[in-house]
Structure 1
């Protein structure tokens, strides 16, 4: 009796499975369904290929120009593949920009500011997310407001602040001078980044605040029960669980600092790679390198290709972690 009941229960399930299998087989072998499937595959392939071409077109163009000989610039038949392949342009631009020195300076500046912004913005984001005090909402609103304020509006006071740098007037009080000149160095970047007032720091504070708010409060309460204070909870509990937010802020900070030209030209001109690349603009290249004003675009495209190459290499290795970290920090969806 029991076996008959069990077999009775198995038969409908087996019949449903067989029916589903037959339906899938019919869908695969139905001419209309096959046509729909392959039509969607073709449309999807065309769309993806077109989008990829639009994105890669500037890079492919600059790569083609960088590998051309000067006489190919006047050959109308040369579109993508150079007729006279050469690496002379790359070597010329690297010598002109002092490429190894410029890349080293840019790396030191980008890594230093990224680490300082990570520490300062993580502390500020944790305070806004977990610590409640009077005026916290107003202060966070001011932080968000700094994201939309153009830096050009405070260019003059910012420049004068670091030209005559002083802390509460103490340096001038003891020395009698107007302050210390921090221009032509990386100190303005490091000081502003360490105080959460650097490039795009309002956005980084917002990212950390959103991420810390998403963590369960049970973690903090358990740490408080074990005797950990606010600093200990932040270092031992919150930061280890904030790896996606840390990766997002580090990548954003590094890339934006690498591509920055405004603050670099304001505080330390001709130090970084992008600042020196401005010398490749039309009319700025020295005659001994140009060989004629018509060749300026050739060197400019070559310099841009060399400038984006380190970022392109970084993206190849870090794009998986970057996409995952952005998804978990609440910036999308």
Structure 2
């Protein structure tokens, strides 16, 4: 009896020790991953509120001696931040809504309907996820450089097509036709969700006289909140940060990703004039000061995403979780 009590106590002690060690390892991993993610943001904030005089102070690491908002003001002036953010959000929200709507329809069609070539078409959808976007760069550029549908434009005007470059049309068209940025992944998410829904729902709707379209809008779509939230957030973030398609179709567009990419050159050009030094054309800006403004501009660019995440992170986690379970 005594030996059994000792064995039970040893077993409990071993479980407690194992649990404590696992907790320590888990916390070390969480702290390490959090540091890798949060440290760059903290460094950007430190640079944004650091005075120019602190650049050459070797004793300063993260906390500046002279706090200032001048870097933020200068970066906003160079970027024309207000109009830039407005145009970017308008463009991103438009493409996001179009992508979510078109990909939901495509995913529903692949999940609930049978038609010739269904598997082949879905294979092409998967290939859009696997094939690098750079391989499609030239044909997509030429397609929208001379955009024409079945030769209609050439038939009536005699021209090769319509030049849609440096407009929002290419991105809006591809998003509305479920062929935009990461659309293959969104179609797959919706397909997996709709496949997991019971077929009795559609049978009951069919008995009540509802067709496929009405069933989709009245029954399927209201139940597809988890994948809709997931796709909306993914599409918004990826479209907001996209530089590939933005620079390909809208190299002169007023979008955040494009302006941030050109911020070093713009800061070198306009910074002396903003500081009132030598008219701004014949005087070179301090490269270290330009680097500070670039870091500040990047912080301003990601600020809307951080604010959005603070408000919607709970819904995002729940939607991803539920989508994964149903799919």
Q: TM-score, normalised by structure 2?
A: 0.87
Greater Cα shift, 293-302 or 86-95: 293-302
Report 1:44-83 matches (<5 A).
44-83=26-65
Residue 280, structure 1, aligned to residue 274, structure 2: no
Q: How far does residue 51 in structure 1 lie from its aligned partner after superposition?
A: 2.5
Confirm or deny that 1:311 pairs with 2:305: yes
Shift of 1:41: 5.4
Shift of 1:43: 5.0
What is the aligned partner in structure 2 of residue 243 from structure 1? 225
CA distance 1:31–1:242, shift in 2 (3 Å): closer
Inter-partner Cα distance in structure 1 for 2:96 and 2:242: 13
SS at match of 2:77: helix
2:127 to 139, 145, 157: 145
> Residues 240-280 of structure 1, C-alpha deviation per residue, up to 9 Å, x if partnerless?
11000100110110000000011111111241011001122
Q: Name the Cα RMSD after superposition.
A: 2.3
Identify the residue that residue 301 of structure 1 maps to in structure 2.
Answer: 295
Aligned-residue offset at 1:49: 2.7
CA contact (8 A) 1:280 1:296 kept: no
After TM superposition, give the deviation of residue 288 of structure 1 in Å. Answer: 4.2
Residues 193 and 33 of structure 1: is their aligned pair in 2 closer, same or farther, counting only changes over 3 Å? closer
Residue 286 of structure 1 aligns to a residue in which SS? helix
1:121 is the counterpart of 2:138: no
TM-score for both structures, normalised by structure 1 = 0.86
Residues 169-218 of structure 1 deviation map (CA, whole Å, 9 limit, x = unaligned): 11111111222221121111110111111000000000000000011111
Shift of 1:50: 2.9
2:243 alignment partner, one of 235, 252, 261: 261
SS in 2 for 1:285: helix
How many residues get paired? 306
Structure 2, unaligned stretches of length 5 or more?
273-284
Q: Is the 8 A contact 1:164 1:181 kept in 2?
A: yes
Deviations 1:212-244 (A, max 9, x none): 001111111110111101111111111011000
Do the aligned residues in 1 keep the contact of 2:48 with 2:71 (CA within 8 Å)? yes
Closer, same or farther: CA 112–284 of 1 in aligned 2, 3 Å: same
Which residue is 2:112 aligned to?
A: 130
Q: Which deviates further from its counterpart, 229-238 or 262-271? A: 262-271
Partner of 2:139: 157
